[in-house]
Each structure stands twice: as structure tokens, then as C-alpha cells.
């Protein structure tokens, strides 16, 4: 395990401890989508009621600075997926199922989330989503995603996460970026990339991909040091 991996795992454990109470809101939130109506929510003891705005400010600033770093270092659900996938690979000694989503798949999830959030907040009505609105579907979807992540690395992040889809828009414009140099096409970076980003023409990861979560595994693993941390300034 590399030093960077140890550091990232430590941050994930700390974030899991502090942010997991916010994540648990999916089980007791009176609204079918949590974290939307926190200001008017009657559950006064819910931590989301007091931590949502500071957390959003932190996520926004971090994303402008380094892209989807929140997903790799701080997201509690991402940490759970990494842990389950790590156990699976240790037990089975097999790699993940190599399934890559179409680039626009997660944006469909983002669009549905925005529509339902507007419905919950009362900004729009008469949306034909009654079944979804009446059924607290989020715990079920997240539970299924956790199970699938045992076999497919970061399944939720790659296929369904609406927050990840939104943050991914900043990857091409964040202040910190990964610069690709003289690649020998050994493909080691692809093996360790949790999001399985790939530039098929060049046989390496693609850090400008919307799926890159800036975990910097490729930076640490590249034997030729062809991937370097840089800035857009």
C-alpha cells in the first residue's frame, strides 16, 4: 500500500466517522429526497439541518480547486464502496467486472434528481413521478449499489451518483490537474484506477474524463512518472 493510499484511506475513515450521520438521513428523513428541505424540516436533531450549508460550501471550494476530489477522499458512500471492493479482491483474487458506462448515464440520474428536488420543494408540480415520490426508494437503490460495488468498482459513482455527475463538470476547469507526459503504455495506471477511466487510443487513464475522481492512484503507481500534478494557472 502506497503512502498516498494510506493517507487517502485515513481521510476516508475520518470522513466516514463525521459525515456518516448525514448519510443516515436517508432512513429517517420525512421527505423522499433528503437534504433538500432541511431548513423547514421538523426533525430538529438531524445533523443535516445544521451541517448541510457548510458542507456544500466546502464541496464547492474543493471542487473548484481540484475537481472531484471530494468523491475520492471525503465521500462516506465512496469509502464504503472502496472497502467492500477491496475485501472482494482480497478474497477472490480476481479483478473487477470491466463494465464502463456511457458518458451520459450519470447525467440522467442528475436530471431526475433535479426534477424530484423541484417537486419536493414545491417549485414545480404535476410531474408524472408519483411512484417515486411516494416510495422511499433511495435506501434500496444505495443498498443494491453497495452490493454491486463488490464486483464493479465504484458502481454508484460511475453509473448513478447525481452529485458526482454535477461535480464532474469541474474536472476540465479545476485549478489542479494531472498532466500526462511520455507514456510507455504499460497500462498499470488502468489497473489501479477505481473509476476505470481510459483513453483507449493511448492505452492509459484519462484524468480529464468526467469520471476521474482525482484519487491520484495513477500518479503514485506510474513507474515512468509520466503522470504529474500540475496547475492550470
Report the run of H or E that residue 97 belongs to, with start and end.
none
Do residues 212 and 197 lie in contact, with contact meaning Cβ atoms separated by under 8 Å? Answer: yes
Burial of 42 (0-12, 13-18, 19+ CB in 10 A): exposed
Q: For residues 145 and 164, what is the distance between their CA atoms, to the nearest angstrom?
A: 14
Q: CA of 15: how far to CAs of 39, 55, 100, 156, in Å?
A: 23, 12, 28, 18
Q: Which of 118, 98, 108, 85 is nearest to 161 (CA)?
A: 108
- Specify the pLDDT at position 95: 63
74 Cβ neighbours under 8 A, 6+ residues apart: 11, 12, 15, 19, 62
Tens-of-pLDDT digits for all 233 residues of the chain? 678 888 999 999 999 888 888 877 777 787 777 888 888 888 888 888 888 889 999 999 999 999 999 999 999 999 999 999 888 887 876 666 666 666 678 888 888 888 877 777 666 665 555 555 555 677 888 899 999 998 888 999 988 999 999 999 888 889 988 888 777 878 888 888 888 887 766 667 877 788 899 999 888 888 888 888 888 77
Q: Which CATH class is domain 179-231?
A: alpha beta
Q: For residues 177 and 122, what is the distance between their CA atoms, to the nearest angstrom?
A: 39
**Helices (runs of H) and strands (runs of E) counted in the chain:** 12, 2
pTM over 0.75: yes
Q: For residues 150 and 60, what is the distance between their CA atoms, to the nearest angstrom?
A: 29
Cα torsion 164, 169, 170, 171: sign? positive
Q: Would you kindly state where each structural domain of the chain is located, as residue ranges?
A: 77-169, 179-231
Radius of gyration (Cα) for the chain, nearest Å?
Answer: 18
For 140, the 3-state DSSP assignment is helix
Amino acid at each position: 500500500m502506497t503512502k498516498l493510499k494510506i493517507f487517502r484511506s485515513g481521510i476516508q475513515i475520518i470522513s466516514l466517522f463525521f459525515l456518516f450521520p448525514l448519510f443516515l438521513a436517508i432512513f429517517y428523513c420525512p421527505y423522499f429526497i433528503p437534504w433538500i428541505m432541511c431548513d423547514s424540516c421538523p426533525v430538529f436533531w438531524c445533523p443535516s439541518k445544521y451541517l448541510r450549508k457548510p458542507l456544500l460550501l466546502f464541496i464547492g471550494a474543493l471542487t473548484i480547486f481540484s475537481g472531484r476530489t471530494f468523491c475520492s477522499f471525503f465521500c462516506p458512500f465512496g469509502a464504503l464502496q472502496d472497502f467492500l471492493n477491496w475485501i472482494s479482491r482480497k478474497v477472490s483474487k480476481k479483478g473487477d467486472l470491466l463494465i464502463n458506462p456511457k458518458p451520459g448515464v450519470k447525467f440522467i440520474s442528475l436530471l431526475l434528481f433535479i426534477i424530484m428536488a423541484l417537486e419536493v420543494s414545491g417549485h414545480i408540480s404535476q410531474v408524472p413521478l408519483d411512484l417515486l415520490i411516494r416510495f422511499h426508494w433511495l435506501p434500496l437503490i444505495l443498498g443494491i449499489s453497495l452490493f454491486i460495488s463488490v464486483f464493479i468498482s465504484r458502481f454508484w459513482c460511475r453509473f448513478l451518483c447525481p452529485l458526482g455527475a454535477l461535480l464532474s463538470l469541474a474536472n476540465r476547469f479545476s485549478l489542479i490537474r494531472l498532466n500526462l507526459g511520455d507514456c510507455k503504455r504499460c497500462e498499470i495506471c488502468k489497473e489501479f484506477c477505481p473509476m476505470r477511466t481510459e483513453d483507449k487510443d493511448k492505452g492509459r487513464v484519462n484524468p480529464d474524463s468526467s469520471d476521474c475522481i482525482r484519487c491520484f492512484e495513477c500518479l503514485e503507481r506510474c513507474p515512468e512518472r509520466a503522470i504529474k500534478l500540475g496547475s492550470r494557472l
